[in-house]
Amino acid sequence: MAVINNRLLINLMDIALLLAAKITELTLIVLMGYALVKFKLLQSKDSYPLSVIGLYIISPAVMIKAFQIEYTPAILQGLLLSLSMAVFLHLILIILGSLLKRLLKLDPLEHAASIYSNSGNLIIPLVMALFGPEWVIYATCFIVVQTFLFWTHCRMILCGKGNLTLKQIFSNVNILSIIIGVTLFALQIKLPPMITGTLSAVGSFIGPNAMLIAGMLIASIPLRTIFSSKRIYLVTALRLIIIPLFLLLIVKLIGFERWAENGDTIVMISFLATISPAAATVTQMALIFNKDANKASAVYGVTTLLCVFTMPLIIALYQLI
């Protein structure tokens, strides 16, 4: 029993240290973007082209590259488990978000930020550091489902239902990249090394690009406004504490880990994606669609700074139950 407890303590410490390191890296990049504006090298509005690059080039590259993997029965079983969890967890998040919107009178940005997490920018580096690069494929299912919902459900939250048609959905480069990636995986078509290398190089910018955008936008907001807003702390509590605890209970009650080989690790990867900060994509979409990007950046910044404390505690509780 003592050996098991010691191993558990080591695992919890590893996760906490990795999270702290990754959040520190993200914060430093945010500060770089902040400094660019404060030293008048750029203006906050100059983050717009970076948002376009992130949403229409970097994100599609990540999606297509994620599916360039070899097929094995074990991998397929794990992918089906992670896909099932991704769909189920997002369904719960959407339902819960609608209830909280009515109960707490959340505006569209608060509503979107409470539902959608920063699963790509934070979870992929974390999974690579904690479990190894071979496990990253199980994080892609959550990201694929989330990407589809970003350009359907999330966009409707921010812009209204009348601004979205089926043609817009299926002609969107992010949705097309998912279709292309899934098709290539299903047919086991491997792209030339030059192409996959290019996709990997572009995809590696997904985290830094999002952090620079956030820093540039935050620079235009008085810090007193950010840290004195009760609404921002309300959304932060929802995104980092209340919703993760609710999902933790559901995941444990259903027992997803019994559904596949290495289910414990696969389920933890999926759960990690739900307890991360508010999505950087919400900030980028708010900027592109002119929906109060400053507030979105403030929510993103505060949740990113505070998740270094909340994520290790939530995961510790997850492992103890």
Structural domains for the chain: 2-320 (1.20.1530)
35: Cα separation from own chain's centroid? 25
Token pair in block for residue 246 = 């609710």
Residue 121 near residue 206, CB atoms below 8 Å? yes
What string of DSSP letters covers 238-290?
Answer: IIIIIHHHHHHHHHHHHTGGGGSTTHHHHHHHHHHHHSS-B-HHHHHHHHHTT
pLDDT of residue 9: 47
Q: Given the structure tokens 């955008």, which residue do they identify?
A: 213
Residue 75 near residue 266, CB atoms below 8 Å? no
Name the 3-class secondary structure at 193. Answer: helix
Token pair in block for residue 176 = 């097309």
Residue 243 near residue 101, CB atoms below 8 Å? no
Going residue by residue through the chain, which has 321 residues, state the pLDDT in tens, using 9 for 90 and above. Answer: 444 344 444 455 666 677 677 777 877 888 899 999 999 999 988 988 988 898 889 888 888 888 888 888 888 888 899 999 999 999 999 999 999 999 999 999 999 999 999 887 677 777 776 777 678 778 888 888 888 898 889 988 988 765 566 676 677 787 888 889 889 988 999 999 999 999 989 988 887 888 888 788 778 777 776 777 789 999 999 999 999 999 999 999 998 888 888 888 899 899 999 999 898 888 888 888 878 877 888 888 788 778 878 988 898 888 787
Distance, CA of 30 to CA of 235 (rounded, Å) = 20
Tell me which residue of 237, 270, 244, 264 sits closest to 141, measured CA to CA. 270
Distance, CA of 102 to CA of 120 (rounded, Å) = 28
pLDDT of residue 6: 47
Alpha-helix runs per DSSP H in the chain: 2-38, 47-53, 59-66, 73-104, 108-115, 124-130, 137-149, 155-159, 166-171, 173-186, 193-203, 206-218, 223-227, 230-237, 243-254, 263-274, 280-288, 293-320
Distance, CA of 257 to CA of 264 (rounded, Å) = 5
Residue 115 near residue 94, CB atoms below 8 Å? yes
Q: What pTM, to 2 d.p., does this model score?
A: 0.80
Contacts for 66 with CB less than 8 Å, ≥ 6 apart: 136, 137, 140, 143, 144, 181
Contacts for 167 with CB less than 8 Å, ≥ 6 apart: none
Distance, CA of 279 to CA of 96 (rounded, Å) = 17
Contacts for 177 with CB less than 8 Å, ≥ 6 apart: 59, 60, 61, 63, 64
Q: Given the structure tokens 């099932």, which residue do they identify?
A: 84
Residue 91 near residue 274, CB atoms below 8 Å? no
Among positive and negative, which fits the CA dihedral 26, 32, 35, 41? negative
pLDDT of residue 164: 60
Q: Given the structure tokens 């030339």, which residue do they identify?
A: 192
